[in-house]
């Protein structure tokens, strides 16, 4: 997408960067995600592992053995590449409320490296496919990684008292 198109899509107060060419981090997509969400407007702001729709993580067959043992976990962390997100915004007004914040202070998919992460409920496994609940991404989203979610290791990031997010 050209820069002029991006400028036309800015909300008041948002700024973008003219970025240098990307360098290759050597990421490998391990599969793809199937959700009922066809366009970004369909996606929930955050996934719901208790009431969200069932979604599928479909791994490339070579990675199927890497799923062994994962079924012992009720929740897993899914990392994915938000392939349709723009990558040049430095500030954003994610709620279109006129309040602008730096990109790294919001959970918007619009970021320099659009890596999405969700804690999802693992419903089941069938071969190279996991059924999960709680995703908030488009169908066809490339899958980066899957990790067991161990609550004892996770720290909840909360806003400082008196700060609105």
The domain made up of 29-86+113-148 is a member of CATH 2.40.50.110? no
Model confidence at 1, pLDDT cuts 50, 70, 90, reads very low
Alpha carbon distance 19, 83 (integer Å): 17
State the pLDDT confidence band at 119, using cuts at 50, 70 and 90.
Answer: very high
Q: Between residues 9 and 123, which one has the greater pLDDT? A: 123
Predicted local confidence at residue 25, as pLDDT:
83
Report the pLDDT value the prediction gives residue 159, as an integer from 0 to 100: 60
Residue 112 clears pLDDT 70, i.e. is over it: yes
Domain ranges (residues) in the chain: 29-86+113-148
Q: How confident is the model at residue 104 (pLDDT cuts 50, 70, 90)?
A: very high
| Residue 39 C-alpha from the chain's centroid | 14
Assign 115 to helix, strand or coil. Answer: strand
Burial class (CB in 10 A: 0-12, 13-18, 19+), 161: exposed
Phi-psi region at 162: left, alpha or beta (left = phi > 0; alpha = psi -120 to 50): left
Mean pLDDT of the chain: 86
Please indicate whether residue 48 or residue 55 has the higher confidence score (pLDDT): 55
Q: How many residues does the chain have?
A: 165
């Amino acid at each position: 997408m050209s820069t002029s198109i991006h400028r036309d899509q800015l909300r008041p107060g948002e700024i973008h960067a003219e970025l240098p060419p990307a360098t290759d981090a050597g990421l490998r997509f391990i599969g793809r995600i199937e959700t009922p969400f066809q366009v970004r407007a369909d996606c929930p702001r955050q996934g719901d592992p208790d009431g969200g729709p069932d979604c599928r993580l479909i791994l490339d067959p070579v990675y199927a053995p890497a799923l062994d043992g994962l079924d012992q976990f009720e929740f897993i962390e899914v990392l994915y590449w938000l392939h349709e997100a723009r990558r040049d915004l430095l500030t954003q007004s994610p709620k279109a409320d006129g309040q602008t914040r730096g990109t790294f202070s919001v959970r918007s998919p619009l970021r320099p490296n659009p890596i999405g992460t969700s804690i999802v409920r693992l419903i089941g496994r069938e071969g190279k496919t996991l059924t999960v609940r709680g995703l908030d991404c488009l169908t066809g989203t490339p899958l980066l990684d899957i990790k067991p979610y161990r609550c004892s290791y996770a720290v909840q990031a909360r806003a400082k008292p008196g700060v609105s997010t």
